[in-house]
């Protein structure tokens, strides 16, 4: 059974710092991995989608990597800003039904 | 604008009541999903539908029911059999190819009084 784990559960950093969020999964047979952002009381906003054949994806200050063989993905945020404060969730798609298996999320606070 | 809408934003349920959460999408997606999120936890799949008039149970389907009569709509009913329904409910849709990304609605927060 696929399990997804995110470490740390919470992170607090000063503004301007570069940071890395971690996501691990137990079964390497995935179609893709998706990183989401969730603001308090809101839905999920897709940040990056990495296909199983890809090693990384970039969007602005965000860079996500995928190492399928070791069951790991990282989300790198450059030059963090207070507006980056949110919960970040990773999810893997392991079958052809399209359903996602989620980690518990990392809650990020960027202090001015 | 294409997207997913959920209503209501907040919902209160008395003990023993059934309540229905609405989810509508205009993305022309075949597949739709209902997830439940509890505080400090990730999302867990309740039900999903890959095509009209067909749906499948997810990991935590007990106490919930769904219908898929139209491609655009996938309502979720929380029945009185669901013993701990207080949670944040998220609806999602998916374009049909496993390489595509999944899109989420804004959510409905259900509270039992």
B1-13 tens-digit pLDDT: 669 999 999 999 8
Mean pLDDT taken over chain A? 94
The DSSP 8-state label assigned to residue A89 in this structure reads E
CA distances from A23 to A34, A89, B105 (A): 11, 9, 23
Residues of B in contact with A10 (CB under 8 A): none
- Cβ within 8 Å, pair A102-B96: no
Smallest Cα distance from A101 to chain B, Å: 7
pLDDT recorded at residue B94: 86
Spatial neighbors of B112 by CB under 8 A, at least 6 apart, are B12, B13, B14, B15, B85, B86
Pairwise pLDDT comparison (A14 vs A96), residue with the higher score: A14
Of A43, A49, A51, the CB nearest to B105: A43
Q: Are A61 and A78 in contact (CB under 8 A)?
A: yes
State yes or no: pLDDT of B18 exceeds 70: yes
A19 touches chain B (CB under 8 A): no
- Hey, are the CB atoms on A41 and B109 less than 8 Å from each other? yes
Asked if A71 reaches chain B (Cβ–Cβ under 8 Å), the answer is no
Whether A44 sits inside 8 A of B109 (CB atoms) is no
> What is the C-alpha to C-alpha distance for residues B75 and B55, in angstroms, rounded to an integer?
12
Which residue did the predictor score with more confidence, B39 or B37? B37
**pLDDT tens profile A43-65:** 999 999 999 999 999 999 999 99
pLDDT band at B91 (very low <50, low <70, confident <90, very high): very high
CB pairs under 8 A between A and B: 73
Which of the 8 DSSP states describes residue A55? Answer: S
The residue among A10, A23, A44, A47 with the most chain B CBs within 10 A of its CB, best to mutate, is A44
Contact B21, B78 (CB under 8 A): yes
Interchain CB contact of A41 with B (< 8 Å): yes
Q: Which of B5, B37, B41, B42 to mutate against chain A (most A CBs within 10 Å)?
A: B42
Give ∠ CA B45-B51-B57 in degrees, rounded to 5.
30
């Amino acid at each position: 059974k696929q399990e997804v784990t995110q470490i740390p559960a919470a992170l607090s950093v000063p503004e301007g710092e570069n940071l890395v969020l971690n996501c691990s999964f137990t079964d390497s047979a995935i179609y893709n991995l998706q990183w989401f952002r969730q603001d308090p009381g809101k839905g999920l906003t897709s940040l990056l989608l990495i296909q199983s054949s890809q090693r990384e994806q970039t969007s602005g200050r965000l860079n996500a990597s995928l190492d399928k063989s070791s069951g790991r993905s990282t989300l790198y945020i450059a030059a963090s800003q207070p507006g980056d404060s949110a919960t970040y969730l990773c999810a893997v798609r392991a079958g052809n039904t399209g359903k996602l298996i989620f980690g518990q999320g990392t809650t990020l606070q960027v202090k001015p | 604008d294409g997207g997913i809408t959920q209503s209501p934003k907040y919902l209160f349920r008395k003990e023993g009541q059934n309540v229905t959460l609405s989810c509508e999408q205009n993305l022309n997606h075949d597949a739709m999903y209902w997830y439940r999120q509890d505080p400090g936890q990730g999302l867990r799949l309740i039900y999903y539908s890959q095509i009209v008039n067909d749906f499948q149970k997810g990991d935590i389907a007990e106490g919930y029911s769904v219908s898929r009569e139209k491609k655009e709509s996938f309502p979720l009913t929380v029945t009185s059999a669901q013993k701990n329904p207080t949670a944040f409910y998220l609806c999602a849709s998916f374009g049909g190819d496993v390489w595509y990304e999944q899109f989420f609605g804004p959510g409905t927060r259900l509270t039992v009084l």
